[in-house]
Amino acid sequence: MGTTWGRTLFRQCFLLLVCAAFLSAQTQQRTDSPQAQFLKKLSDAAIERTHHAVRYDPAYVRIPYPGGDVPEGTGVCTDEVIRSYRALGIDLQKEVHEDIDANFWKYPNHLRWMTTRADSNIDHRRVPNLMVFFSRKGESLPISQRPEDYAAGELVTWDLGGGVPHIGIVVDQNSTSSGRLMIVHNIGQGPKLEDVLFQWKITGHYRYFGPNLHQ
């Protein structure tokens, strides 16, 4: 009987080791995937933006297309997202403009700003447009109040109150006080790294890998 029990225990231990090895390999595969590497690079690009001095300026500015940007020392919350993606070779101005131009009525331009055609100067700099774009061309993720549901490189939008939209990037740095992943955003004082994930009502949660990298 002792021999039988020993064999059973051996088989159970062997199966546990096999399962552990399989799960470890799966975790490593997810960490090493192109998507995971992209999100890490986007997080790093967003953190790098916090070293730039930017004056908050929501003015309409005519800019070149494609690859256009407002003056380097100015911008709003969306410009930090745009500049972070551009550091990875992705031009949100071009991507958003092309999709709005082809699918104008799926975007809120005509309702919110009373426009009747795409405008490459401003469309990509508006949070509601980015929300539609990321849900169409990226992944729309669940909204929750659980910190573990948010990962570095993901995008979050908020309602600051009174329908005022805001956007930021979740980054790979934890708050020393709450332990939560922090956010890079510009809410008026330039790009900042802050623990504000649950500061306002979350209205959107997205991942976007660009036009050439698919989940």
Q: Is the pLDDT of residue 138 over 60?
A: yes
Per DSSP, the residues of 142-209 read PP-S-GGG--TT-EEEEE-STT-EEEEEEEEEE-TTT-PEEEEE-SSSSSEEE--TTTSEEEEEEE--
Give the torsion sign (CA, 176, 177, 181, 187). Answer: negative
Range with the lowest mean pLDDT among 27-36, 56-65, 98-107?
Answer: 27-36
What pLDDT does residue 22 have?
42
Number of residues in the chain: 215
**Collapsing DSSP states into helix, strand and coil, what is residue 136?**
helix
Query: Among the listed ranges 20-29, 87-96, 182-191, which one has the minimum average pLDDT value?
Result: 20-29
- Give pLDDT, residue 149: 98
| Res 15: pLDDT | 57
pLDDT above 80 (res 105): yes
Residue with tokens 């399962």: 19
Q: Would you state the structure tokens that stand for residue 97, as one six-digit string?
A: 């403009």
Nearest-angstrom CA–CA distance, 137 and 100: 12
Mean pLDDT of the chain: 90
Given a cut of 80, whether residue 17 has pLDDT beyond it is: no
Query: What is the rounded CA–CA span in Å between residue 69 and residue 57?
Result: 13
Contact indicator for 213, 197 with CB cutoff of 8 Å: no
Which H or E run includes 74?
A: strand 74-75
Which helix (H) or strand (E) segment holds residue 55: the answer is: strand 55-56
